[in-house]
Structure 1
Amino acid sequence: MSLLSAIAAMTFIVMFPVLLASRRAGIAGIGSFCAACLLSALSSAAGLATGIAPLWVGVLLSALLSIAAGLMILNGFRQFLRRRSLAPWSVVATLAGAAAVLVFFAHVVENPVAGAAAGTGLAGVIHLLTAATIIRHWRRERAIAPYILFSCLAAVALGLLSGLQAVVTSSGLGSPGAGEPQVLTSVVLAARILTTPLFLLGIVLMLHGRIIANLQHIIAHDDLTGALSRPAFLARFKQCLAVAAATDQPTAFMMLDLDRFKQINEQHGHAGGDAALVLFADTVRKTLAGRGILGRLGGEEFGIVLAGTGRLEAAGIADAICAAVRSTRTDTASAIALTVSIGVAIGEPGAAPLEIMARADMALYEAKAMGRDRPSMAGSLHPASFASSRALAGVAAQMRASAAPPDTTAILSGVA
């Protein structure tokens, strides 16, 4: 067993700097997991001293450190899963009670093996409590579910092995001369020693999975408004169209443009413009109430994808968004009134994303030409304003393609 304990101790020593480096990511629970790894290494090192150092080092201290490591793991998972941390007094009381039991069996009853069995059993209970905490709250972490479930299985295995070791040891099955039961004790102890590093390995993988998931979230979302970034939004748009083609359902796309945003920036500064964008995105999200996918396409332009939505429902949602935005004011020194123009296009099954977006873009500039603060449905443009809508769309395309603003008067007169 000394070899296994040495391997376990070295594994903990290797894991500790990895966990310590992960603290910079600011993930809840890492501090407790670092403490658990260090305590586990010390427990394994103390176990190596059995037969060399005094009894209280090899048996009692090792058991107490193992209990402390279990408490830190439990506390780490509670923090990681956004639960309340263990109260400091409960940790201190548990360790004090465990120490009293170990000392009682070692010096009063003079049976340190029974004391160690009691300590092992307590550690097993703590690991099972950790597993119960994971089972109850892991569904909130679906992005890293495999790592969390692996850690849960390791916690269950460690809890059961600790309980089995306590039962076998305290019942005298593991005493010398008991024959095969001595083999059983060795097997259970070896399994427990090897499972502990696997448990912490699962924790390391879980933490790194959370770091990767956080980075993916940052990449896929606009840091100001929280809406999807343009690449992530277009990817989701394509997925929705693929599902719509398979189920023969329409998909509605809305292009939203915050009216007079340039004037807002000029009059209230970039801080006012940022406040307007944040309020606008929040208002749209509340109005959608989970019915669509919101993305920021660039600047003050946003897009919404509504899967399985036809013309009438899309028109109603667009009207509701316009009304909600119209009734908002920014919470700044000078309240900023907001309005939005919306172009709506319905993509039939099999339609291409760019074609739908182009039609919504045309409808958006139709809404602008008709006075802003309103939605416009693609395919229902008024003939009298169709030419001006096309001209405005052409101007917008040129402005996006060129760093210098084009002469809109010349372009409009040329189209006319």
Structure 2
Amino acid sequence: MKQLTILGSTGSIGCSTLDVVRHNPEHFRVIALVAGKNVSRMVEQCLEFSPRYAVMDDDASAHLLNASLKQLGSQTEVLSGQQAACEMAALDEVDQVMAAIVGAAGLLPTLAAIRAGKTILLANKESLVTCGRLFMDAVKRSKAQLLPVDSEHNAIFQSMPQPIQHNLGYADLEQNGVMSVLLTGSGGPFRETPLHELASMTPDQACRHPNWSMGRKISVDSATMMNKGLEYIEARWLFNASARQMEVLIHPQSVIHSMVRYQDGSVLAQLGEPDMRTPIAHTMAWPNRVTSGVKPLDFCKLSALTFSAPDYQRYPCLKLAMEAFEQGQAATTALNAANEVVVAAFLAEEIRFTDIADLNLAVLEQMDLEEPQSVDDVLRVDAIAREVARKQVMRLAS
């Protein structure tokens, strides 16, 4: 039986992870749950899964959780703060750590799991977008096993030969017969919107993703294809891929989640329903398989599968992310931070949809930063970029 810590248990990925546990109680046991401030959901999770530990982000939330659990007769020990989260990620009895805390808050606990040599089920984008070299170096030193949860990276992982799976970030693609990685994306809700109409698109329109059910921020990132840009950055680190070994394709149906092109002309693809429980169950059970609760893909009900190259006029954020990778980690960190601020401003209707890419570019052009050598350096770049982005938003909105 595999023993599990879930970082970000009350979020979307965390809840889906627990659903896989629910379907496979004989295979998985939850040791620790770590969350932000959602006390009511954490109470439900503790009562159902009886973890040994539960960690909340702050003392006030932990106090509320502890009082509720005691009243209900739960034996779960309640802790709070980032240090406690890091300790849960490194517990001796834990085999796997689901790293699903969103944003910079997830960096240190994920790094703690890596340094402890755990199997890390990686769902935190920032780990590789902002700390790619730091994280991959730590993985190599500790001999931790990284397993990507993001549907695209998981699809690529499943389509890779075993030597690459066991040496992520360092295996040579060419020596293993791989020609390129094909990263697919739906193109979002504005794939066919005339370019001159993009400026007038509203937050609600941007959040109507045609295939996936997602939060508002990531829905906007899908509309701009910044999400694919961030995934491109992650894939470069995870699979040790050069720019010429990467291809990005628009695939509106979201049935093929990504592919790997081989030197002999073969292309291996992973297909499935657009449901995050599939990649989650894959990483949890790897190298075996368990039930995920996802319905089988019905090929007879599929429409045609279509593909096209991305138009960078329509998706300037995608191009921006690709270029940022070539500039280094300071640039990718700054871009990620700026984008969070700028997308929040768009969702608050302070700027137009087309301003997102313009402001992201303005932040990158304004910043001149040294390459980060530590997580503290990364957080410093992140903070500076956010401040620059906020000023750019205020300038535009005034």
Which range, TM-score by smaller chain? under 0.3
Higher relative contact order (CA 8 A, sep 6+): 2
Structure-2-length-normalised TM-score? 0.24
Greater Rg by CA: 1
